Chains A and B, each alone.
Chain A
């Protein structure tokens, strides 16, 4: 069960273009599974920014000096994330979590490729540990537009069989995008599953590569949320169900990880006309 936790900031370090914020989180680490996220309040109960921001949980620690803690990765790009990036040790922070469905893990110890775009890579490291613990081979691909926007290279190297890095401008690793490197990594590792987290365009491209290779992909999507707990209905996207019917599902409670071949990527931000309950011409 998720909880509301009035915590404090334990640490907030700048890492490249990002901030890694550690906050007390009581029992959240005990409930945590890779792929979960937290919804973080911006400011106190008088703040004029009333919507929580959702962050993948990057790391958890259930018995540190401060009790349970969670780490999140912040990319400052607006008033909410700027506020969080400026928080200092001992500042108050209010978290709701753990939220969302975790990644599904393969039953058998099959090779997995983990693809992270920028700080979207955050949830993949605990996933890598869980997969390794099951005996899965893990290969990482981390990509970004430029070197400062890469995240978690040292950690990825430590926990994987191979790490491939791509940047659009060639400032680190191969010049190009993660999907330029992906077919080769799939081939070499004989991958059965691909996990990906990052920008929507990257997820779409990764899902397409997985489909072409006939392997399963799990993509952790990023849609803007107002609540993170399933009540506001703002974070929906068109997902094909097991019955073949497309429905507008909430990425916060039905995701954030969806099977890559079930997301109607070309229709994200639209209502496909065959969606369950789609507007009939001239009615809605």
Chain B
């Protein structure tokens, strides 16, 4: 039987940009494909939203294997954005999600600024799409592979171009990389360029070396580090951005494994959370984390999730 959130007296609904969601727990891009596989374990329409794997304009094979290495309380991955391309994605994956009644936030990626805009344009008027997450943590092929998310101007260019290609009412979330000196600088830049909210954080760049071969374990040599190991970094990023931008909607993510972990993000300033790598360990994790958060709030004698959001910022409450 598919798991669904338990009934609770605690109000778990949230406001996120222009959205109202019944659950604050979302999937994380790249950790849930397009929802179909997880729907065998949980009713995908009962979680906050499905954030789909980043889709690009054209089909993409991704990188050669090995694409993954286990690390202490985490994993390193270098999938290389394997995907069907936006047309096939709309025709098959989005149609399925919409038919299931899922709320979908589509993660988009591009090789250059224009490609982001083209992918976003394809999503106009597609039913079931409640928001777009812009994965700016990919290399800009037109600027020697410099990652958009690491440069405030390049990041703003992408968001600006996406903004011009979607309706004014479509919520746009920029997904930020922690691999920067000052994440609030990037945050301010993308908000100014038209982002309605921020997804915080993407993976950290890492490397694992095989001590038998003495070579990097992943075919792409470096990869993105995720899982509970990165959680303190993620909580810190959410906290700093909340302090810098007191009103910006934030989807917090990075190593959330339990309801208690999610509570850290809410207190740091997240309005919603995404559960990513933990889904590989527990396919029911998005619903379980929702239930655990509700239980924690109930045990604290609270009536709504809203009461703990920003709680770590004494000046904001």
Contacts and interface: CB of A to CB of B under 8 A. Distances in A.
B60 A231 contact: no
Query: In terms of DSSP, what is the predominant structure of the interface of chain B?
Result: loop
Contacts of B278: 50
Interface string A271-284: 10001111100111
B61 A271 contact: yes
Contacts of A284: 60, 80, 111, 141
Contact of A269 (B30, B32, B40, B219): B219
A4 B41 contact: yes
Contacts of A3: 41
Interface in A152-192: none
Interface of A: 1-4, 41, 45, 48-52, 96, 223-224, 226-227, 229-237, 247-248, 253, 268-271, 275-279, 282-284
Contact of A50 (B41, B63, B281): B281
A102 to B, nearest CB: 16
B212 to A, nearest CB: 12
Interface of B: 30-33, 37-38, 40-41, 53, 58-68, 70, 72-75, 77, 79-80, 82-85, 111, 141, 219, 227-228, 257-258, 277-284
Given A45-B258, A231-B37, A277-B58, A50 B79 contact: no
Given A50-B227, A232-B31, A271-B63, A4 B37 contact: no
A218 B295 CA distance: 49
Given A2-B40, A230-B33, 12 more contacts: A50-B75, A50-B278, A226-B68, A226-B70, A226-B75, A226-B77, A229-B283, A232-B31, A232-B280, A248-B61, A275-B61, A282-B141
B277 A278 contact: no
Contacts of A232: 31, 68, 77, 79, 280
B61 A50 contact: no
A52 B72 CA distance: 14
A235 B227 CA distance: 19
Contacts of A49: 70
Contacts of A229: 37-38, 40-41, 283
A4 B282 contact: yes
The 3 closest A-B pairs by CB, nearest first: A277-B59, A227-B280, A234-B68
B73 A231 contact: no
Contacts of A227: 279-280, 283
Contact of A279 (B41, B61, B70, B84): B61
Nearest to B139: A284
A276 B31 CA distance: 22
Contacts of A248: 61-62, 82
Given A277-B60, A284-B80, A231 B33 contact: yes
A4 B1 CA distance: 10
A234 B70 CA distance: 12
Contacts of B37: 229-231, 253
B196 to A, nearest CB: 27
B151 to A, nearest CB: 20
Contacts of A1: 40
17 contacts: A45-B258, A48-B228, A50-B70, A50-B227, A51-B281, A224-B66, A226-B68, A226-B77, A227-B283, A231-B31, A231-B279, A236-B62, A247-B61, A248-B82, A268-B65, A277-B83, A278-B61
B41 to A, nearest CB: 6
Contacts of B111: 283-284
Contacts of B83: 277
Given A96-B283, A224-B68, A277-B82, A51 B75 contact: yes
B70 A271 contact: no
Nearest to B56: A277
A108 to B, nearest CB: 33
B283 to A, nearest CB: 6
A236 B281 contact: no
Contacts of B280: 50-52, 226-227, 231-232
B281 A269 contact: no
Contacts of B283: 4, 96, 227, 229
